[in-house]
A and B are shown apart, each in its own frame.
Chain A
Amino acid sequence: MQNETVLRPKKAPKSLLSKGVRDHLVAYSFIAPNFIGFAIFTLVPMFFAFVLAFVKWDGSNPMEFIGFDNFARLIKDTTFHKALWNTIVYTIGVVPFTMAVALALAILLNQRIIARNFMRTVFFFPYVASLVAVAAVWNFIFSPTMGPVNNILHLISGVPIEDLPRWAADKHWAMFTVILFTVWKNMGYYMVIYLAGLQGINSELYEAAELDGAGAWRRFRNVTVPQLAPTTFFVLMILVINSFKVYDIFINLFAGADNQLNDSTRVMVYQIYNTAFRSLDYGYASAMAIVLFLLVLGITIVQFRGEKKYGQ
């Protein structure tokens, strides 16, 4: 943008450039630094993703256009189906669980309560703490035979440790463990969004309800829930989208190498990553990425319509 201001007078005397053109150049110069980077490193790869989905390519041999073959292969690929299914199971587990906990905490912490700010900080912190580090602690705390969780469960219930869930190491419990961890890690974020929503509710509504003799439950049902609808909708959409993008939680929650990811915990992004960077099947991986994109696009469209409906 500096070049431009210096060069402009030389190329054309000021009188030849109308004020309108000059204003435009100034405006474009503001956008250019971000837009050029954004266009090259985001827009181009986005476009390229669609092209890549229709080719067969290992990154070194010449690309081969194969039409919809990648998608035909996806339809028959049971591993991918499993990954898609696991992603959906994870989403169904995480979304209502997180929403319920986040809303309950937000309502409690919206009252005049001792140590309110301290608690908000404590609940929010896992969201910013490094995933690798907190996942490592969870792996230790939930480790099947040595970990404190199973030792405490053993003490309380008397069930032999071998019969207790093996958590992340157990294919029946692995998904549940990941969901539990996700809720623990991210609920603080959604709690804050709910808190903001609660604080946006006009307190006169509560006062009016109280005058009408509405108890706490009625006030929650008839004031809080409807007033929070836009927030709830927003939280729901963001949670679903984020659940579809999950990958790092899965590979970090399994102690040791990620080859422990078995059928019950393989998610879509893992499958994309593996197909592209391990099997070097770039075209096929991009076809999976397009499926992910279409799913998220679908959710976004629902959100867009819903927001119009709620008139936010």
Chain B
Amino acid sequence: MIYREAGQFKTTYASDQQLFPILQDRVFVIGFLVFAFGVMPYIGSKYLFSAILIPFLILSLAAVGLNILVGYCGQVSLGTGAFMSIGAYTAYNFAVRMPDLNLLIVFVLAGVFAAIVGVLFGIPSLRIKGFYLAVATLAAQFFTDWLFARVKWFTNDSASGSVAAPPLTIFGSTITEPVEKYLLVLAIVCVFALVARNLTRGAIGRSWMATRDMDVAAEVIGIRPLRAKLSAFAVSSFFAGVAGALWAFVNLGSWEPLAFDVNRSFQLLFMVIIGGLGSILGSFLGAAFIVILPLVLNQLPTWLGIPLSTAMISHIEFMVFGALIVFFLIVEPHGLARLWAIGKEKLRLWPFPH
């Protein structure tokens, strides 16, 4: 009933092709954007912003990037952490060496450099695919780990290998409050989500999907695999690079190569798989699952007033989290986004299922 589309007629191509063709979707999206931008800053606590929402949003952005590569273009990658670290260190070097540069430009440059490196490491994808490609992208991971840990120039000769981001100054004002950081990240993520959604709907997205589904057939119908694959690597790495710069500058403030190690790549891949391959929404759902759920599980016993030792809580967190991953993948191998889509379909027919 809530989701019934009866009576919504699309009479122009424009109305058929808009981002959210269904009225209810539009209302919800606008409603939630208003909530996220207008209401959330007033009701959220500092902890909520700095420890939950900001990390969640930034990793969502990285997951969207990875989803473009893995979900839309079918190129399995284990190197997202590497591209994030390239973004982070590029941003750091620009910010330290050219202190007058606007931070937003710094973030874009971070994305550009990550995209260049992404394309370089994407070249093997023209010859190999699947697991073989995953291993090739793993090389990017180990290479950047080595590069940023060993080449001192990148860390500005930091003694401990840990670097600290300069203050977040955008258009003359310095951002320090978690709520301001949250709004900054939210705005950037919204823009990028919109870009990603439109890219995947357009010609370029179709070429990615055709390559993913059957590359030989795609070639036959005139899609150039070189362009499709490398553009997917470039866009994906761009997203990851910006996410890496945000992760370093906004979330951590001070970081070391360990913040972008292979575990981060795995974490992002799991987000994409659990959230739903080939779905922008899925990237957000997956990020929520991986970032927020463990924190909630970790604090649940305290909220419920169950006295447990710290180690026990931690172990329970790991067990429940693992079990939930298995559960969701069994119930819906296509990810949380698919569960949501099924829910929506059911709502459309409700209360008369057939």
Partners in one complex: no
